[in-house]
Amino acid sequence: MANLFEKMLSADISRRDFLKGTVAATAGVAGLSMTAYAADSNLTTAPVEHAPVVDNEEGGCWVSAACWHNCGGRCLNKALVKDGVVIRQKTDDTHADTPDFPQQRACQRGRSQRMQVFGADRLKYPMKRKNWSIDDPHGELRGEDEWERISWDEAFTLTAQAIKKLYDQYGPETCFVLGGSQVPKVLQGLGGFTPRWGQVSWGAWPDAYKFVTGNAGYTNNAPDRFTLREQKLVILWGANPAVSSAGLPEYNYQQAHKAGAEFVVIDPRYTESIKPLDAQWIPIRPATDTAMILGMIQHIVASGLHDKEYLDKYCVGFDRDHMPTSDRPEWTYNPLERNSFVYTSKDIDPDDNFLDYIMGEGKFAGEGAKTPEWASEICGVPAETIKELAVKYATTKPASIFAAGAPARINDGECFPHALCVLGMVCGQLGRDGASVVSCMHNAASNGGPGLVSGGGAGAKSNVPANPFPQKTYAMNNGEMWNAVLNGEHTMYKDAETGEVVKYPVNIHMLYQGMGGALNQRQAMTQGIQAYKKVDFALCTNYVLNTSAKYSDIVFPCTTEWERPGTLLTGNREALFFGQHIVEPMFEAKSDIEIGQGLADKMHELYPDEFPYTAADICDISEWQQVLNKLAGATFTNASGEKKTLLTITADDVKRYSEKAGEELMLEPQEGEITLAEFEEAGMYQVDVADSAVYRNYPFKAFIDDPEANPVDTPSGKFEIHSQAMSDYIEWVGFSSKDPLPVYPHITEGYEDGIANNRPFQLITHHYQRRSHHVFDNLTWLREAFPQELWVNADDAKAMDIKTGDIVLLESPYGKVARPAYVTERIVPGVVSLGEGAWAQLNKNGVDEAGATNTLSSPVPTGQGHTGFNSNNCLISKYEDQSILPDAQWPKRIIFAD
């Protein structure tokens, strides 16, 4: 390892950048703020030759390098490797950039990746918290104790002994696995573990969309990017593609704009997405969107602009003549994360129809109509604006509404996706002429449809029993898990007959966090820290000292994708990326698989009778063999719609890979579309989708063409404006209730709660350019380019004498955060916003000075078990200590300097 560091130091990079990394190189920062797409699509670059594998000037090799994060994009990254060190990075220059066949360019995070891989704050050795032992854990010192370097043998021995002791004493459910897959296989061999569940990304979309439309494509059911160009109006409802779908989405939307689509953005913040699309900005109060939608629908119906024929033909529940009936058999729903749920169709009382609800008639007469004026009081959008948008959407066709997860990432969130889909139905826009209403974010944004490329399977098997405590039954929900660790029970479901919420007792004495970082990234972190401090043993695998690692007792250092044999990356429907082996493992880091295998061998050595498994039972083939298998199984969809083998792999290729691997790899040579060498050189394969109509995506076409022959998968076979099944399901989950109609519900920690409980600021937590969640938060370049600052409305700030740069204290009943203010008119009054994912750093008074938003969020599970990150009731004030260092000058979490 020392050898590699010597090479790095002698290479063309300053020691300070790589090893200390506390001051950003200014030249780099200027480059960082570039967006990954061309702002003007006329600016196509001239065709370039394939990037030379060898860079003559620098004398290194360009190798395609993984960018593997859950970042909402998927792009091409390349690393210039010289003498085993990465000295530069670049992105896609494999072909000319045109709107129809665009380059897959990396963002500022991907281009900073080498700072992560070679960072001085990489975890270098297995380590143990100084005052921890399984007999005397000193949990109260977690997060503050010193670290000791230990050998892998000691790390595996101490871990195996601790696990065995706890499993003997409390049984296998005592270990709560927050994330990761390889160490849990060892736990399976010992009898299992308690898993975790709950939707965070798409908020209430997944189950709600399925109940209402009968289709599980809550994110993919958007038009593809060519059909998108046929839309006349696009509403981005709480979606910020320029930031949270890095890569091509904003550029694709620009093509639709150039082709004539008008854009509207509904968001509490004036976002980076708005200007490039010439969009109208409609500022809105968070978590009140359902009220605005109902106001729009009421105005459309009152103006006679609704599509009665569509509603009668495709929907149930709109008016008293079209209510769901009991004439269809039992309908089974297999939700993503819980047990399957059976709904028996019922006759629904015609009095419960949606039309009466919005018009304030029939049984709803006492409530009044859901007029734009009514909505305006709640959501803060002027009634006139609501009416204008309503008429525009009802009369401009085809028009699509793309929401992100954000507006549904609120407590009691199901009514938002439900109401939004109903708005589409009322205007006859859901599924007609490619128009769509869908949660179109992350890497499906702007380009819906099934993936056109795929990597093959790894072909690896493990030979340990399945976990007998499955995800769908015994898992603990994100919103309850810390409370369950502290207090010993969590919700299983609510018994419909007795009305009792059935609780499941747990006795958690161990926490394991592999990939992911639930402590920082799930709600109620302050309670999470208490839970960490309570258990006997906390184990973590990571390559940096993130929050989970910091509060653990033993930390296994793992490799990054750059140090592993390789990986195929998907997520972008048109392109498959090859992350190749770039460097040898840093210091003593091991891959997750090696860690699982090492622990299994140790467990077997110590307890052969109770644990009859060894490394091969965790994973039976090498990681190099897995790469070859994935390459061999890679496919693409050709212009006739057929799935084809992508790669030609020869016997020489297999020999070449065997040499790299230092072992004999097995693979039958095969014929494909391109050679493996071509794939390696380009680093990706991109389908030319302009080529054929086969690649187009028209959601719901078959149902719209013939609803009788092609019913959707709801209890009624139609789109459900009245969904008793969803209501019963949410009741069964056991956290809260959902009206069968898309009403404006009470939202825990919503706007009204804030007024009532005297915490009038609503905190929202946007996804931020600096990070992919909490990945990259430690990189100096990104810290300098994107400071962690609190957006505060200019009028609010004036009233409180807060100026940009002043340190502001944010308080909720769950925690406190202090951060500099960014005073701006880009956010609505009464709302503050902080980028999610900063690495919590609590000072001696328990105030988090890094600005980790989950310090403030509440342990409240609602609805389908999703998390309500986007409305937390807070107070703000000027902080007493104004001396917090600028982010880029914060010391790094360097444990062992070398």
Ligand X SMILES: Nc1nc2c(c(=O)[nH]1)N[C@H]1C(S)=C(S)[C@@H](COP(=O)(O)OP(=O)(O)OC[C@H]3O[C@@H](n4cnc5c(=O)[nH]c(N)nc54)[C@H](O)[C@@H]3O)O[C@H]1N2
Contacting residues toward Mo ion, per CB under 5 A: 201
Answer whether 867's CB lies under 8 Å from 735's CB.
Answer: no
Among the listed residues 37, 65, 74, 103, the single contact to ligand SF4 using CB under 6 A: 74
Among the listed residues 353, 769, 788, 858, the single contact to ligand X using CB under 6 A: 769
Query: What six digits make up the tokens of 613?
Result: 């498994």
Q: Whose Cβ is closer to ligand SF4: residue 67's or residue 160's?
A: 67
Q: Whose Cβ is closer to ligand X: residue 299's or residue 409's?
A: 409
Query: What six digits make up the tokens of 643?
Result: 């799935």
Binding mask 205-244 for ligand SF4 (x = CB under 6 A): ----------------------------------------
Q: Which amino acid is at 766?
A: H
Is residue 514 within the footprint of ligand X (CB under 6 A)? yes
Q: Whose Cβ is closer to ligand SF4: residue 71's or residue 292's?
A: 71
Is residue 196 within the footprint of ligand X (CB under 6 A)? no
Task: Please choose, from the candidates 672, 634, 314, 599, the residue with its C-alpha nearest in 3D space to the C-alpha of residue 457.
Answer: 634
The 10 Å CB-count burial string (b at 16+, else e) for 289-311 is bbbbbbbbbbbbbbeeebbeebb
Is residue 113 within the footprint of ligand X (CB under 6 A)? no
Give the footprint of ligand X on residues 398-437 (CB under 6 A).
404-407, 410
Q: How many CA atoms lie within 13 A of 275 on its CB side?
A: 8
Binding mask 581-600 for ligand X (x = CB under 6 A): -----------x--------
Q: Whose Cβ is closer to ligand SF4: residue 13's or residue 106's?
A: 106
Give the footprint of ligand X on residues 235-294 (CB under 6 A).
237-240, 243-244, 246, 266-269, 271, 284, 286-287, 289
Sign of CA dihedral 885, 888, 893, 897: negative
Q: Whose Cβ is closer to ligand X: residue 405's or residue 734's?
A: 405
Q: Whose Cβ is closer to ligand SF4: residue 436's or residue 454's?
A: 454
Q: What is the largest CA-CA distance in the chain?
A: 81
> Which residue lies nearest Mo ion, judged by its C-beta?
201
Query: Closest approach of Cβ 75 to ligand SF4, in Å?
Result: 3
Q: Alpha-carbon distance 405 to 867, whole Å?
A: 11
The Cα angle at residue 281 between residues 277 and 282, in degrees rounded to 5: 150
Among the listed residues 869, 873, 876, 887, the single contact to ligand X using CB under 6 A: 869
Q: Whose Cβ is closer to ligand SF4: residue 89's or residue 462's?
A: 89
Q: How far apart are the first and last CA of the chain?
A: 10
Per DSSP, the residues of 568-613 read: EE--STTEEEEEE--SPPPTT-B-HHHHHHHHHHHHHHH-TTT---
Query: Closest approach of Cβ 202 to Mo ion, in Å?
Result: 8
Q: Whose Cβ is closer to ligand SF4: residue 72's or residue 335's?
A: 72
Element (H, E) at 473: helix 471-474
Answer whether 654's CB lies under 8 Å from 679's CB.
Answer: no
Q: Alpha-carbon distance 592 to 409, whole Å?
A: 31
Mention every residue, 6+ apart, whose C-beta is less than 8 A from residue 362: 320, 351, 353, 356
Task: Please choose, from the candidates 713, 718, 318, 346, the residue with its C-alpha nearest in 3D space to the C-alpha of residue 496.
Answer: 346
Q: Whose Cβ is closer to ligand X: residue 119's or residue 514's?
A: 514
Per DSSP, the residues of 61-119 read: EEEE-----SSS-----EEEEETTEEEEEE---SS---SSS------TTGGGHHHHHT-
Give the footprint of ligand SF4 on residues 772-801 (CB under 6 A).
772
Query: Closest approach of Cβ 831 to ligand X, in Å?
Result: 9
Q: Where are the alpha helices (DSSP H) in 315-445?
A: 354-359, 372-379, 383-395, 415-426
Among the listed residues 89, 188, 765, 864, the single contact to ligand X using CB under 6 A: 765
Task: Please choose, from the candidates 766, 778, 731, 722, the residue with its C-alpha nearest in 3D space to the C-alpha of residue 891.
Answer: 778
Q: What are phi and psi of 437, to 5 degrees?
A: -130, 115
Query: Closest approach of Cβ 856 to Mo ion, in Å?
Result: 19
Among the listed residues 137, 189, 214, 516, the single contact to ligand X using CB under 6 A: 516
Q: Alpha-carbon distance 446 to 240, whole Å?
A: 11
Is residue 73 within the footprint of ligand SF4 (CB under 6 A)? yes
Is residue 748 within the footprint of ligand SF4 (CB under 6 A)? no
For residue 585, how far is the Cα from the chain centroid?
27
Is residue 567 within the footprint of ligand SF4 (CB under 6 A)? no
Q: Alpha-carbon distance 815 to 339, whole Å?
A: 34
Task: Please choose, from the candidates 285, 82, 283, the residue with its C-alpha nearest in 3D space to the C-alpha of residue 751.
Answer: 285
Q: Whose Cβ is closer to ligand X: residue 400's or residue 853's?
A: 853
Query: Closest approach of Cβ 281 to ligand X, in Å?
Result: 11
> Which residue lies nearest ligand X, judged by its C-beta?
72
Among the listed residues 24, 32, 63, 67, the single contact to ligand SF4 using CB under 6 A: 67
Which of the choices ligand X, Mo ion, ligand SF4, none does residue 289 contact, using the CB cut-off of 5 to 8 A by kind?
ligand X
Q: What are phi and psi of 418, to 5 degrees?
A: -60, -50
Q: Kindly state the number of chain residues that form the binding site for ligand SF4, as judged by CB under 6 A.
A: 14
Considering only the stretches 66-74, 222-230, 465-473, 880-888, report the one whose residues sit in contact with ligand SF4 under the rule CB under 6 A.
Answer: 66-74
Q: Alpha-carbon distance 527 to 549, whole Å?
A: 17
Among the listed residues 167, 211, 402, 543, the single contact to ligand X using CB under 6 A: 543
Q: Whose Cβ is closer to ligand SF4: residue 68's or residue 202's?
A: 68
Reduced to 3 states (helix: H, G, I; strand: E, B; else coil), residue 637 is strand
Task: Please choose, from the candidates 487, 485, 491, the residue with its C-alpha nearest in 3D space to the C-alpha of residue 528.
Answer: 485
Query: Closest approach of Cβ 406 to ligand SF4, in Å?
Result: 18
Per DSSP, the residues of 780-801 read: HHHHHHS---EEEEHHHHHHTT
Q: Whose Cβ is closer to ligand X: residue 726's or residue 775's?
A: 775
Which of the choices ligand X, ligand SF4, Mo ion, none does residue 517 contact, using the CB cut-off of 5 to 8 A by kind?
ligand X
Q: Which amino acid is at 310?
A: Y
Binding mask 245-274 for ligand SF4 (x = CB under 6 A): -xx---------------------------
Query: Closest approach of Cβ 54 to ligand X, in Å?
Result: 30
Is residue 838 within the footprint of ligand X (CB under 6 A)? no
Which residue reads 């549904």 in tokens?
408
Which of the choices Mo ion, ligand X, ligand SF4, none does residue 74 contact, using the CB cut-off of 5 to 8 A by kind?
ligand SF4
Which of the choices ligand X, Mo ion, ligand SF4, none does residue 424 contact, using the CB cut-off of 5 to 8 A by kind?
none
Q: Whose Cβ is closer to ligand X: residue 105's or residue 306's?
A: 105
Q: Within a 10 A sphere around the Cβ of 342, how many other Cβ atoms?
A: 12
Q: Alpha-carbon distance 479 to 470, whole Å?
A: 18
Is residue 75 within the footprint of ligand SF4 (CB under 6 A)? yes
Give the footprint of ligand SF4 on residues 705-744 (CB under 6 A).
none
Q: Whose Cβ is closer to ligand X: residue 99's or residue 203's?
A: 203
Q: Whose Cβ is closer to ligand X: residue 206's or residue 324's?
A: 206
Binding mask 553-572 for ligand X (x = CB under 6 A): -----x--------------
Q: Whose Cβ is closer to Mo ion: residue 201's or residue 780's?
A: 201
Is residue 830 within the footprint of ligand SF4 (CB under 6 A)? no
Interacting residue ranges for ligand SF4, rule: CB under 6 A: 67, 69, 71, 73-75, 77, 106-107, 109-110, 246-247, 772
Interacting residue ranges for ligand X, rule: CB under 6 A: 70-72, 180, 200-201, 237-240, 243-244, 246, 266-269, 271, 284, 286-287, 289, 404-407, 410, 441-442, 514-518, 521, 541-544, 546, 558, 592, 764-769, 771-775, 836-837, 853-854, 857, 869-870
